[in-house]
Structure 1
Amino acid sequence: MYVRPAAATAAAFLGFTLTLLGGTAQAAAPGPGTASPAGPATRRAEVGEPVVYAHRGAAAYAPENTLDSIDLARRLGFDWVENDVQRTKDGELVVIHDDTLARTTDVEQVFPDRKPWRVKDFTAAEIARLDAGSWFGEEYAGAFVPTLREYLDRVQGNRQKLLLEIKNPGLYPGIEEQTLKVLGEAGWLDERHVSQRLVVQSFSADSVRIVHGLRPDLVTAFLGTPTVPDLPKYAEFTDRINPWHTTISADWVAAVHGLRGPHGKAMEVDTWTVDDAATARKVQAMGVDGIITNAPDVVRDAVGGV
């Protein structure tokens, strides 16, 4: 058994905050750069309370980016889950946050001579051998790193919605096209999924621009906090700006809302990663549209989000 005591202790503590309240989610909003006729106050009244996104699943309570984590998010009543996509040595897309396997699997024990244990240096079959749950807690021993296709099938089976992050695209040339191919093969690029159940995001503006160019109908998001003067450039290819919560103000959020994205709708702001009630209420007061969180129940209780 491979357990990291600090993670297990934190998980046990956070587990006390679980609730079984239900929740729903807001459909994603789809020319660029023009001002929205509705001011932020009117717009907030129209869209209601912030959408709550389960970051890497219910990652405060189950091992992140595993099927167990998204299943727990479903049991807690959350429709929207967020994940991270990277690529193996033999070209399989897998769901994992770090570009190495060391933090969230037992790769150091299974493959001790393969340091620094980068995802891109292992085949999908090798990664499938790893335990991706014991580091978090004994009850999750045997959890595995899912392929993107396995993950999509589970999200579909759970009737959930997906905020998909293309991670480290500079390490994986062509990952945008490949991600869209897998999404299409899994039935996620039909009109219903595209309009209601899927958002693709990245920290790379170039990656978001590529996705928008390949599938202009998709809702996209850029992860970061561009300056207000630069926002119109982003409005040409992305529908949302998703910043770290420490980097924003109410005025900045209002500036994003004042622009229209490529689908002709007011741009949105989904902030991350907010895990406590006080911060959740703070960003809600700024007017954000969504909150991405490891502890979705805590945030929902604080802001009444859906």
Structure 2
Amino acid sequence: MREVPVRARTAAVSTVVALGVAAVFLPALSTQALAGEGEVVVIAHRGASAQAPENTLAAVDLADELGFDWIENDVQRTKDDVLVVIHDTDLKRTTDVEEVFPGRAPWKVRDFTADEIAQLDAGSWKGGAHAGARVPTLREFLHRLDANGQRLLLEIKAPEQYPGIEKDVLEVLSQEQWLDRRHLRNRLVVQSFSAASVRAVHDARPDVRTGFLGTPEPADLGSYASFTDQINPRSTTLTAAYVASVHALDGPHGRPLEVNTWTVNDPEEARRAARTGVDGIITNAPDVVEEALGQDD
């Protein structure tokens, strides 16, 4: 079935905003509270992407089989305004686009329709066992997470290339019932490297938990605390002092800001990150990290 473009749907963004105002007082659980006192949350980066093709349903399912609830993904928008789950802003690295559409360089996601992207093989680059995996739409991705009972750390990728994508993401989340009380309380965080994008999500839906990807200067953290619930830095920038300075501030939902660090795949690096006091570790190899932290069942 052909995906219907976000902008062609009849649900108005104003309705989305109104829903957000109605639910703004909903208490959100912290990510670490969901994992258990003292435990670091292990978040599967683009699914279990060390073993399965990233950002595919196969990677989501493998993370589920390994026992991991939290999935990180990347969302972009097609030429015909459908939201798809893919990391790179071009299709070359993880699909066979150069073979299927040889005359379409530079193969940017935004230059292809959803139907064209659906023709691409997004699994063979990871090995023959994954041949035929597809780039999922955001709706397909949400359906699979719901079926598996998983949670989502959704990254809005390169928002400067997709004006208005924040409202599009919120609209799809709303239509797929991901902005109901259950999801808002403990199953959804929206993040971006763009502070403007994170702020746009917060302004439109103050009840949605948000995260900023990066390492703001400690003196600037107070301004971020007005619109984001998480500061999510690269692991190489982490220190215990920095994590403590983030935790010292309350975010827009009245809870201490959280820290999820990325992308940690090495056991010793995982243990070092955990010693700094982070709330979560984003990793391609969640089973490796969990075992390194001594949290595997």
**C-alpha contact (below 8 Å) 1:28/1:199 kept by paired residues:** no
2:76 aligned with 1:86, yes or no? yes
Query: 1: distance between equivalents of 2:269 and 2:163?
Result: 37
Counting only pairs closer than 5 Å after superposition, residues 1-306 of structure 1 correspond to structure 2 as: 28-29=29-30, 47-305=37-295
Show CA shifts across 1:262-285 (max 9, x none): 111111100000001100000100
Which residue does 1:39 correspond to in 2? none
- Tell me, what secondary structure is at the counterpart of 1:135? helix
TM-score of the two chains, using structure 2 as the length reference? 0.88
Query: 2: distance between equivalents of 1:120 and 1:207?
Result: 18
Query: 1: distance between equivalents of 2:97 and 2:219?
Result: 45
Q: Flag structure 1 segments of 5+ consecutive residues without an equivalent.
A: 1-26, 31-42
Once the two structures are TM-superposed, the CA of residue 243 in structure 1 deviates from its matched residue by 0.3
Query: 1: distance between equivalents of 2:213 and 2:95?
Result: 26
Show CA shifts across 1:205-261 (max 9, x none): 000000001111111000000010000010010000000000111000000000000
- Tell me, what secondary structure is at the counterpart of 1:81? strand
Once the two structures are TM-superposed, the CA of residue 28 in structure 1 deviates from its matched residue by 4.6
Query: 1: distance between equivalents of 2:142 and 2:252?
Result: 26
**C-alpha contact (below 8 Å) 1:52/1:305 kept by paired residues:** no
Give the residue type in structure 2 aligned to 1:117: W
Give the residue type in structure 1 aligned to 2:212: F
Once the two structures are TM-superposed, the CA of residue 29 in structure 1 deviates from its matched residue by 2.1
Give the residue type in structure 2 aligned to 1:141: A
Query: 1: distance between equivalents of 2:226 and 2:38?
Result: 26
Once the two structures are TM-superposed, the CA of residue 48 in structure 1 deviates from its matched residue by 1.4
Query: 2: distance between equivalents of 1:47 and 1:108?
Result: 48
Once the two structures are TM-superposed, the CA of residue 47 in structure 1 deviates from its matched residue by 3.6
Q: Flag structure 2 segments of 5+ consecutive residues without an equivalent.
A: 1-27
- Tell me, what secondary structure is at the counterpart of 2:125? coil
Give the residue type in structure 1 aligned to 2:217: T
Query: 2: distance between equivalents of 1:215 and 1:302?
Result: 37
Give the residue type in structure 1 aligned to 2:30: A
Query: 1: distance between equivalents of 2:139 and 2:46?
Result: 16
Query: 2: distance between equivalents of 1:305 and 1:110?
Result: 44
Say which structure, 1 or 2, has more relative contact order (CA 8 Å, 6+ apart): 1
Give the residue type in structure 2 aligned to 1:217: D
Show CA shifts across 1:110-159 (max 9, x none): 00110110000000000000000001110110000000000000010011
Query: 1: distance between equivalents of 2:284 and 2:159?
Result: 23
Query: 2: distance between equivalents of 1:305 and 1:112?
Result: 47
Once the two structures are TM-superposed, the CA of residue 49 in structure 1 deviates from its matched residue by 1.1
Q: What fraction of aligned residue pairs are identical, expressed as a percent?
A: 64
**C-alpha contact (below 8 Å) 1:29/1:219 kept by paired residues:** no
Once the two structures are TM-superposed, the CA of residue 305 in structure 1 deviates from its matched residue by 4.3
**C-alpha contact (below 8 Å) 1:28/1:198 kept by paired residues:** no
Decide whether aligned partners of structure 1 residues 238 and 47 sit closer, same or farther in structure 2, where only a CA change above 3 A counts: farther
Show CA shifts across 1:16-46 (max 9, x none): xxxxxxxxxxx8529xxxxxxxxxxxx9xx8
TM-score of the two chains, using structure 1 as the length reference? 0.85
